[in-house]
Amino acid sequence: MSTIAANPYEYELPSEGKIALVIIDMQRDFLEHGGFGDALGNDVMQLQSIVPTVKKLLETFRSLNFPVIHTIEAHAPDLSDCPPSKLNRGRGNLKIGDQGSMGRILIVGEDGNNIIPELTPLANEIVIVKPGKGAFCRTNLEEILQKENITHLLFTGVTTEVCVQTTMREANDRGYECLLIEDGTASYFPEFKTSTIEMLRAQGGIIGWTANSEAVIAALLPQAMAIA
C-alpha cells in the first residue's frame, strides 16, 4: 500500500475509496489587504504565504483528476443563518454583515467573500458554503463525501486553529482518515498553528496526521501512474 511520509507515522493512501483535497476558507476578506482580517489588525501576510503551496497542491489534484473541495464561510444577506452568539461576538470591531471595503462582511456574493483569484474553483469542483467554523455544520458535505466514496481527506487553508482544525476534528469523528498539510495551512498567530499541529497528531494521531506538501505530492504522483 502507498503511504505519505507523515507524523506521527506514515499515512496510508486508500486502496479502496478516494482521497480529496480540502481547501478551507481561502477568501479575499481573510487574505487580502483591506479585507476583514486586515481591518481587525491581523497580519494577512501570514496567510498569503501559503498561497503558492496550496496552488501547487490544487494543480496536482486537478492534473490527477482527484476530488477537490473548497469551503467558504458565509451567511445569507438577512443573517437568518447567523446565530446571535456569533453575530454579536467581539467589541469595537467590525461584525458579520457590516460594510467593509470589499462589501458586507461574510455575506454570500460579496466581493470579499469570494475565494482569492489564484485558487478560483473550477465548475466541476465541490464548493461548500458553511455558516459555521466547521464544514459539516449545517451543510451537505457528509452526503457528498459518501456519494463520491471519499474516505481520505487532506486539509489545507485558514485558519489552522479555527476552521481548519474544527473541520478536521468533525471529519475524524465521522470516520474519515485525515491529514493536515503543514505548509498548506496558516494562522494570523504562528504559535497557534504550531500548537494545533501538535494537538492533532498527539497520542499516536488522535485526530490524524500531518505532513508537508512535498511528501504528499511525491506519494500521490506514483499512485496515480499505478492506477492509470
In which band, very low, low, confident or very high, does the pLDDT at 1 lie, cut at 50, 70 and 90?
Answer: low
User: Catalytic positions, please?
Assistant: 25, 130, 163
Residue 221 has pLDDT above 90, yes or no: no
In which band, very low, low, confident or very high, does the pLDDT at 90 lie, cut at 50, 70 and 90?
Answer: confident
Cα(97)–Cα(74) distance, integer angstroms: 10
pLDDT for res 228: 42
Read off the pLDDT of residues 67-80 as tens digits, 9 standing for 90 and up: 999 999 999 999 99
Read off the pLDDT of residues 39-68 as tens digits, 9 standing for 90 and up: 889 999 999 999 999 999 999 999 999 999
Whole-number percent of the chain with pLDDT over 70: 96
Residue pair 81/69 in contact by the 8 Å Cβ criterion: no
Q: b or e along 210-227 (b: 16 or more beta carbons within 10 Å of the residue's beta carbon)?
A: bbbbebbbebbeebeeee
User: Phi/psi zone of residue 13: left (φ > 0), alpha (ψ -120 to 50 degrees), beta?
Assistant: beta
- Please report, for the chain, the start and end positions of each structural domain, with discontinuous segments joined by +: 3-27+45-83+125-226
Among 68, 85, 76, 168, CA closest to 130: 76
Q: Which fold has domain 3-27+45-83+125-226?
A: Rossmann fold (3.40.50)
pLDDT (average), residues 83-108: 90
The C-alpha cell 457528498 sits at 144
pTM: 0.96
Q: b or e along 14-47 (b: 16 or more beta carbons within 10 Å of the residue's beta carbon)?
A: eeeeebbbbbbbbbbbbbbeebbbbbeebebebb
Residue pair 54/184 in contact by the 8 Å Cβ criterion: yes
pLDDT for res 45: 97
Cα angle for residues 50, 56, 57 (degrees, 5° grid) = 90
pLDDT for res 92: 65
pLDDT (average), residues 170-178: 98
pLDDT for res 224: 54
